[in-house]
């Protein structure tokens, strides 16, 4: 044997020995080994792998659409209800889509939800009319802009409206600049994990942060853009959530709106939100099994068995994506891992309930979007925070003619006013309690013949404490993705908005280890 041959054999032995067991296993099965990449998330390994997505809400439907676009061929959505859309629930009533859940879009929706909407349902954007505000006296309604100016005069200790306005604009611009300095320019809902010094600077509640940064004068802005949307009182919610939602782009839109612009990127949908998810399912031909309530998930290294009632009704999938609220779910996982238990048990949910209500003679607000800041500020459990007359809002009806009832609230020539009313509380409400409070509130506003057609007491925005957020729990969850053979998606791992869950899906798919063909 000559020395060249010997050297060749030796080199081969070296190469084989250094190949990872993972690689050798894959080769042994005659497959292409999955490619490795630094910082990637483990996901489905092959395009033909069977994938189950639990929940056909916005996160589930969008994830199925994204994975299909990536070339995955065997995707099944499992939904416990008999409809898709989750918290996007649209009831068509009196000639208007009455959105009982998802309803508004902000400038941050341009690159995600608005693109989807244009592709699947055509352009059905309607500009959001300005809000009117009621404080202590529920019969008195003032424009939101007036409320902001009065509060700014108080905050800046001046009687001059121009000076108050200028100082407010300055504070909004400072916030925008500070946000950019803290987090830079980033794509999607979740910014890259900030440095320790940034985390220290944004510690505590949103109000703590605003006070430290001399920006507490922005409270009237965030009351509408944050608290009113159910995202927490400023003195309770983590500063990081505040900064995630109130992006520079949103602030620029709000600033333009205060300065009188009408086209500021704030919208509603003319046909409501639920039809968007239904259109994606339809046009993408997505496979959805309805009335399938997943009660148990057994997993091992090969994949997971999803069971509806007990071990006798189980189906095997190579990969699972779980979108329902994780605090209610992780106990269904067998085995439940300690990191899952530790993280997902920590969220706290509040309740944002909506009711579809008819009434006569009620004292209308100045516009069809009617915020009751008095109730928000008092933090009274399940008090009415807002009402939206969808028929009027979509048509831009406002002003004295709207207030005195000249403009209708439906397409049937009746004098009845129909609204979606919002009630907020920390403890789980009883439906009877919600109805009682709603009726009492409308009676106080001179309403008669009050009929509550439907009540939805939603579990809303599973949130981590300021301390957990400050410890970087959202990035810890991101690092856990794929570790136990599944992904966690949906609002309980990021934030309660359709834009947030869709952007989180995009992040997962962007970071996914490339699958094999
Ligand atoms: C009153 C209200 C107003 C809102 N307004 C806005 C707004 O203006 N703009 C905005 O962007 N967002 C808004 N949202 C938030 C938005 O609707 C949610 O963030 C979004 O729906 C979250 O999507 P998701 O898929 O994560 O969860 P969900 O919408 O909750 O969907 C989860 C799905 O999983 C299903 N499921 C649960 N458990 C199981 C199980 N065991 N097996 C099978 N299926 C299961 C559920 O039935 C549901 O369909 C609002 C929500 C509410 C309630």
Sheet holding 319-322, edge to edge: 287-289, 74-78, 50-54, 319-322, 486-488
Domain containing 337 equals 50-86+274-347+465-511
> Residue 5: pLDDT above 60?
no
Sheet holding 448-463, edge to edge: 142-143, 131-134, 369-372, 383-388, 417-425, 348-360, 448-463
Pick from 54, 45, 9, 38: nearest CA to 321 = 54
Same domain, 244 and 217: yes
Same domain, 327 and 469: yes
Distance CA 242, CA 223 (A): 11
Ligand 1 close to Cβ of residue 499 (< 6 A): yes
Distance CA 425, CA 93 (A): 27
Distance CA 386, CA 100 (A): 12
Q: Which atom of ligand 1 sits closest to the CA of residue 81?
A: 47
Distance CA 175, CA 424 (A): 28
Ligand 1 close to Cβ of residue 297 (< 6 A): no
Q: Report whether 424 contacts 228 (CB < 8 A).
A: no
Note whether residue 200 is domain-resident: yes
Same domain, 231 and 373: no
Ligand 1 close to Cβ of residue 78 (< 6 A): yes
Mean pLDDT across 482-492: 97
Note whether residue 43 is domain-resident: no
Q: What is the pLDDT of residue 12?
A: 39
Same domain, 336 and 471: yes
- Residue 29: exposed, middle, or buried by beta-carbon count in 10 A (0-12, 13-18, 19+)? exposed
Q: What is the pLDDT of residue 517?
A: 73
Ligand 1 close to Cβ of residue 497 (< 6 A): yes
Note whether residue 484 is domain-resident: yes
Note whether residue 388 is domain-resident: yes
Same domain, 334 and 379: no
Same domain, 294 and 372: no
- Residue 259: exposed, middle, or buried by beta-carbon count in 10 A (0-12, 13-18, 19+)? exposed
Q: What is the pLDDT of residues 28-63, one digit of tens each?
A: 444 455 556 778 999 999 999 999 999 999 999 999
Total Cβ atoms within 10 A of residue 386: 25
How many distinct structural domains can be found in the chain? 3
- Give residue 278 CA to ligand 1 midpoint distance, Å: 14
Same domain, 257 and 279: no
- Give residue 86 CA to ligand 1 midpoint distance, Å: 4
Mean pLDDT across 157-166: 98
> Atom 38, ligand 1: which residue's CA is nearest?
324
Ligand 1 close to Cβ of residue 99 (< 6 A): no
Among 496, 499, 503, 504, which is best to mutate for testing ligand 1, by the most ligand atoms less than 8 A from CB? 496
Give the helix/strand (H/E) hosting 390. helix 390-395
Q: What is the pLDDT of residues 355-367, one digit of tens each?
A: 999 999 999 999 9
Q: What is the pLDDT of residue 373?
A: 97
Among 54, 57, 61, which is best to mutate for testing ligand 1, by the most ligand atoms less than 8 A from CB? 57
Sheet holding 333-334, edge to edge: 314-317, 304-307, 296-299, 333-334
Same domain, 315 and 327: yes
Q: Which atom of ligand 1 sits closest to the CA of residue 113?
A: 11
**Pairing outcome for strands 314-317 and 304-307:** antiparallel
- Give residue 230 CA to ligand 1 midpoint distance, Å: 14
Distance CA 106, CA 112 (A): 11
Among 498, 500, 501, 502, which is best to mutate for testing ligand 1, by the most ligand atoms less than 8 A from CB? 498
Q: What is the pLDDT of residue 179?
A: 98
Ligand 1 close to Cβ of residue 81 (< 6 A): yes
Q: What is the pLDDT of residues 271-290, one digit of tens each?
A: 999 999 999 999 999 999 99
- Give residue 326 CA to ligand 1 midpoint distance, Å: 13
Same domain, 475 and 335: yes
Ligand 1 close to Cβ of residue 458 (< 6 A): yes
Contacts of 261 (CB under 8 A, 6+ apart): none
Same domain, 446 and 491: no
- Residue 79: exposed, middle, or buried by beta-carbon count in 10 A (0-12, 13-18, 19+)? buried
Same domain, 202 and 214: yes
Q: Report whether 419 contacts 388 (CB < 8 A).
A: yes
- Give residue 163 CA to ligand 1 midpoint distance, Å: 43
- Tokens representing 495 are 């934030």
> Residue 311: pLDDT above 80?
no
Q: What is the pLDDT of residue 30?
A: 46
Q: What is the pLDDT of residues 77-136, one digit of tens each?
A: 999 999 999 999 999 999 999 999 999 999 999 999 999 999 999 999 999 999 999 998
Note whether residue 45 is domain-resident: no
Q: How many CA atoms lie within 13 A of 505 on its CB side?
A: 28
Among 52, 53, 54, 55, which is best to mutate for testing ligand 1, by the most ligand atoms less than 8 A from CB? 55
> Residue 18: pLDDT above 70?
no
Q: Report whether 292 contacts 179 (CB < 8 A).
A: no
Note whether residue 44 is domain-resident: no
């Amino acid at each position: 044997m000559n020395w060249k041959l010997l050297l060749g054999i030796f080199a081969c032995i070296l190469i084989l020995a250094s190949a990872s067991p993972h690689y050798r296993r894959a080769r042994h099965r005659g497959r292409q080994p999955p490619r490795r990449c630094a910082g990637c998330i483990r996901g489905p390994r092959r395009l033909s792998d069977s994938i189950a997505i639990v929940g056909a809400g916005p996160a589930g439907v969008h994830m199925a659409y994204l994975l299909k676009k990536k070339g995955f061929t065997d995707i099944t959505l499992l939904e416990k209800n008999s409809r898709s859309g989750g918290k996007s629930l649209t009831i068509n009533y009196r000639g208007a889509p009455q959105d009982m859940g998802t309803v508004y879009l902000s400038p941050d929706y341009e690159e995600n939800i608005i693109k989807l909407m244009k592709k699947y349902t055509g352009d059905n954007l309607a500009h959001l009319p300005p809000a009117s505000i009621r404080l202590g006296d529920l019969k008195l309604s003032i424009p939101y802009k007036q409320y902001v100016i009065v509060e700014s005069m108080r905050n800046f200790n001046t009687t001059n409206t121009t000076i108050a306005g200028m100082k407010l604009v300055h504070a909004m611009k400072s916030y925008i600049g500070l946000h950019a300095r803290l987090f830079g320019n980033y794509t999607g809902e979740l910014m890259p994990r900030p440095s320790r010094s940034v985390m220290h600077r944004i510690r505590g509640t949103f109000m703590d942060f605003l006070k430290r940064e001399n920006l507490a004068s922005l409270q009237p802005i965030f009351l509408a853009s944050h608290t009113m949307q159910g995202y927490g009182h400023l003195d309770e919610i983590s500063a990081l959530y505040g900064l995630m939602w109130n992006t520079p782009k949103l602030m620029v839109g709000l600033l333009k709106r205060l300065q009188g612009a009408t086209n500021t990127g704030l919208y509603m949908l003319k046909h409501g939100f639920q039809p968007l998810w239904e259109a994606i399912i339809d046009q993408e031909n997505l496979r959805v099994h309805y009335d399938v309530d997943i009660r148990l998930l057994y997993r091992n290294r090969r994949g997971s068995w999803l069971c509806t009632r007990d071990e006798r009704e189980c189906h095997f999938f190579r990969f699972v994506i779980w979108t329902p609220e994780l605090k209610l779910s992780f106990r269904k996982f067998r085995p439940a891992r300690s990191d899952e238990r530790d993280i997902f048990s920590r969220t706290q949910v509040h309740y944002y309930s909506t009711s579809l209500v008819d009434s006569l003679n009620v004292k209308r607000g100045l516009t069809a979007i009617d915020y009751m800041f008095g109730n928000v500020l008092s933090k009274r459990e399940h008090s009415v925070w807002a009402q939206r007359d969808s028929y009027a809002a979509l048509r831009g009806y406002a002003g004295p003619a709207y207030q005195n009832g000249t403009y209708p609230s439906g397409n049937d020539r009746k004098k009845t006013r129909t609204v979606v009313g919002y009630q907020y509380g920390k403890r789980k409400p009883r439906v009877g309690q919600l109805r009682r409070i709603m009726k009492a509130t409308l009676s106080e506003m001179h309403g008669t013949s009050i009929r509550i057609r439907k009540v939805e007491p939603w579990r809303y925005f599973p949130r981590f404490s300021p301390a957990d957020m400050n410890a970087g729990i959202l990035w810890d969850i991101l690092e856990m993705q794929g570790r136990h053979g599944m992904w966690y998606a949906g609002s309980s791992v990021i934030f309660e908005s359709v834009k947030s869950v869709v952007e989180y899906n995009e992040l997962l798919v962007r970071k996914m280890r490339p699958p094999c063909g």
